[in-house]
Chain A
């Protein structure tokens, strides 16, 4: 195991480990709270109705639900990718209601990281450039840490390749590496292994969970798979626009 150099992360990791064992949720400072949020796409029926979730630092939460139940939508709202109609989301002390377009962009850049099911990578950049992109954009590039991640993800041999030259599993590993190299407080993943076969999927998932634990990042993971969900700290289920 390589020691993690960042004292902030170290304390976050300790905090998470300490907190996850405890039941006294009220006393914990929540990293993320989604409070009675509603969302309707223009011209559609309501997708989310009074949905609420919360997540502590370093904690991992799975989100399951039927197809079309609004899992991705909720994730997008948390990622400050889209606006919502009612309720409130607070992340790391920032209330989303007050954010404008550039405030949301800054939040995405600096504090969360994302892994989608596909098309995560910037097609015109090499794997190496993709891996470092988010961290450099956020002004937090740590080459040693990125190299460490790259090694763990088994990407050292393809650094000069373009995304289209990689397999689906490799692409998702690059996406995870990019997300983790920014040392986010929260990683949002939307079915990151949904396009992969079972073997590749479990390998990618293992790597992701390992990196998340290593850096004490909180994780919100959308998945269809009950077995994946069960590997996380907590599970939430979305149905009828509400979280159960």
Chain B
């Protein structure tokens, strides 16, 4: 009995191979895109971290001498003996092809698993320890490695993408030899996992100061927001894929209803039947999931040229350098596939379980079904309303996501009724019998295509939403960099004395030397940095104020008011006119609020003399130097030489910007590719819907054909209809996408990260996307169209024959 039932049940797929393919591919695409996004996310994270953290060395706190002089080996050994987990670093400059590059030598015995070295060694199939044995190895990126390769005086160079441009990484021993400076240590890295109860620094090495890890946190916070959004994108792609699954599973059971009724009538218990169905779905989900994992892997690999390294990071690092899949990733991918399939099938299964044995086969009704449509519209609106209410009642990230989910789901549900409404309008505008028929027939197609169109709507909305978000982000961040980094270069002195010397040296040689002095104040729950500045046109002209009183700069510079950053303003509800307490007994009026992306802490800006009045001892070591760009590089070299400054002491504004921007380019690339892919999935959904609707289309088309249209004419009309429906969907997707973008930028970002990004509109991108949506629909409709053109008349005539 079970065997016979199983066979009967499965024979459905043998008769409908396209349906089977659709279902499996739907699951595969959903899983694939989701896992591709995961892999890409990991890759993006890794590359941000790389760019931001400069080989990971900046991830760690540093110990260096307070007077800025090099350390001795003895001090290093003292610390290590006392239990401090530290690694010595020797840093210096090397001239390569007329330009200076930074050479960093790290004590690899103390820090053997420095990510850059470990990864690069694995890539090049060498043991990390090879880097320790004479003559040692240098690690550099491809460009630099080529330039270094010609130098017989240097050890062999390993090419790796893991080291940023113009940097060389090596063991400290090798660095000593290359830089010819034995026994000197620039600073110590404080490794993670320090033992408990080690003696404090003041006891064993009073000359050393610990400096907190720099810079990484900013960029990490910045990129976290991207990962969140990419993940949202991945989830949306997943949902789009599930729409396909939902549609196909529904259809397959619709078609098997007579069979199921027969089996039930023959005495097959419902429980057994359900188990049969679940087994079937489970097997298909696993099959689709496996294909999807492979697909995701390929997509990720194709999207990112250097994804091999990432995948290793994601799936574990194998010794041989080949990619091995970590079981947890496989399991979670397959889990998504199975869960998704069951979710997408739930409605169908539920309906099936309540199917009376002798229910009449469902007859497709072609006349307008205003009631069902109206109900669907109401449900859609109710879901949107639920999202809005949740958002109004609760707040924070969850509320933001609830609103987003409500809007997307509700809008998707409301799409078919909305399209039906548009078609009613179209019907009134249609002139001539063909036009009337085309519109009426589109209305007929709507129920069958609505899932695919919903998928298209979500894909387009996600494209517009995430695209707007990323582009706004880039534009804002770009502009913000320009505003914030107005100095031509930045220089950091060892101490106040050198600071004064530097300022004196620079004064006659540049347009302006602006001191950057700050005090860290930890009175509240989070640290607050108060900066003192001197008046300069560049601040007045460029500083990224998002809210300000009229005479803001005059009031700040005369010491009457302060500026605070956006995070602080939002967190504490302080806006122009409020009073902020900067330190005990120091209150100031807020005259303006400025954007400060990536900074997790509060920040305030006051006139320098006000800062010095409260904190006379703030160090005077950092300066922003203004001068014409063409003289910058030259002067920086001269400055380094004159004061023997370490490599990190002078930072060119151009380089800093370029580095930050490179991060966004990559994200753009990835988002663009994902856009195309999601759209492709939606296109696939349209194609499969059209194919499954095929058998229902012939009774619609045959009478019109018989009345005097050619098959190719009908075929073109089919294409026209699909493209028109896609166009209408795309039009509705624009407002939805903008709502999504707004949610991402103004709600979710604020909730998650404390700053709001202004939203920029890119109408040209919408036009492109619109065209792309039409193209997608046209491509999807092309196959059924060709099939119709080539259909033998005998096939069409069968519609009118006695037996149907």
Contact = CB atoms under 8 A, between A and B. Distances in A.
A119 B799 contact: yes
A106 interface: yes
Contacts of A136: 432-433
A129 B366 contact: no
A129 B441 CA distance: 13
B626 to A, nearest CB: 72
Contacts of A117: 800-802
Interface string B777-804: 0000000000000001110110111101
Given A105-B709, A105-B710, A136-B433, A76 B704 contact: no
Contacts of A114: 706-707
Interface in B675-693: none
Contacts of A120: 703, 800
B227 interface: no
Nearest to A121: B703
Contact of A123 (B434, B699, B793): B699
Given A124-B366, A132-B433, A138 B708 contact: yes
A121 B701 CA distance: 10
Interface string A86-110: 0000000000000001101111111
B711 interface: yes
A194 interface: yes
A104 B703 CA distance: 15
Range, interface on chain A: 35 or more
Given A119-B800, A124-B437, A137-B433, A105 B708 contact: yes
B708 A116 contact: no
A109 B704 CA distance: 10
B62 interface: no
Interface of B: 365-367, 432-434, 436-437, 440-441, 443-444, 699-700, 702-713, 792-794, 796-797, 799-802, 804
Nearest to A141: B433
Given A101-B712, A108-B706, A137-B707, A122 B800 contact: no
27 contacts: A79-B706, A101-B711, A102-B710, A105-B713, A106-B708, A108-B708, A109-B708, A117-B802, A118-B804, A120-B800, A122-B700, A122-B703, A123-B366, A123-B444, A123-B700, A124-B366, A124-B441, A124-B443, A129-B440, A133-B707, A134-B707, A136-B433, A137-B434, A138-B708, A162-B367, A163-B366, A190-B800
A72 interface: yes
A165 interface: yes
A39 to B, nearest CB: 10
Contacts of B794: 41, 82
A4 interface: no
Contacts of B441: 124
Given A132-B433, A133-B437, A122 B708 contact: no
Contacts of B703: 119-122
A83 to B, nearest CB: 8
B713 to A, nearest CB: 7
Nearest to B789: A101
Contact of A125 (B436, B702, B802): B436
B139 to A, nearest CB: 69
A7 B367 CA distance: 39
Contacts of A83: 793
A191 B706 CA distance: 16
Given A76-B793, A81-B797, 15 more contacts: A72-B801, A81-B793, A104-B710, A105-B713, A110-B708, A117-B802, A119-B799, A119-B800, A120-B703, A121-B703, A124-B437, A125-B437, A132-B433, A164-B367, A191-B802
A134 B437 CA distance: 12
Nearest to A136: B433
Given A133-B433, A164-B367, A109 B800 contact: no
B700 A109 contact: no
Contacts of B792: 42
A124 B706 contact: no
Contacts of B707: 108-109, 114, 133-134, 137
Contacts of A116: 706, 800
Nearest to B436: A129
Contacts of A119: 699, 702-703, 799-800, 804
Nearest to A108: B708
B446 to A, nearest CB: 11
A164 B797 CA distance: 20
A118 B706 CA distance: 13
A162 B800 contact: no
A101 B444 CA distance: 27
Nearest to B696: A123
Nearest to A44: B794
A124 B797 contact: no
Contacts of A163: 366
Contacts of B802: 117-118, 191, 194
A120 B713 CA distance: 19
Contacts of B797: 72, 76, 81-82
B366 A118 contact: no
A107 to B, nearest CB: 8
B803 to A, nearest CB: 10
A44 B427 CA distance: 45
Contacts of A123: 366, 444, 699-700
Interface string A163-183: 111000000000000000000
A160 B148 CA distance: 85
Contacts of A138: 708
Contacts of B712: 101
A244 B799 CA distance: 29
Nearest to A79: B706
Contacts of B699: 119, 123
Nearest to A109: B708
A226 B463 CA distance: 67
A24 to B, nearest CB: 35
Contacts of B713: 102, 105
The 7 closest A-B pairs by CB, nearest first: A109-B708, A116-B800, A162-B367, A136-B433, A124-B440, A108-B708, A124-B444
A54 to B, nearest CB: 23
Among the interface residues A41, A107, A117, A124, which one has the most CB atoms of the partner chain B within 10 A?
A124
B122 to A, nearest CB: 63
A107 B706 CA distance: 10
A30 B704 CA distance: 29
B710 A101 contact: yes
A198 to B, nearest CB: 18
A148 B443 CA distance: 30
Nearest to B708: A109
A79 B441 CA distance: 25
B690 to A, nearest CB: 17
Contacts of B434: 137
Contacts of A101: 710-712
Nearest to B442: A124
Contact of B708 (A124, A137, A165, A191): A137
Contacts of A79: 706
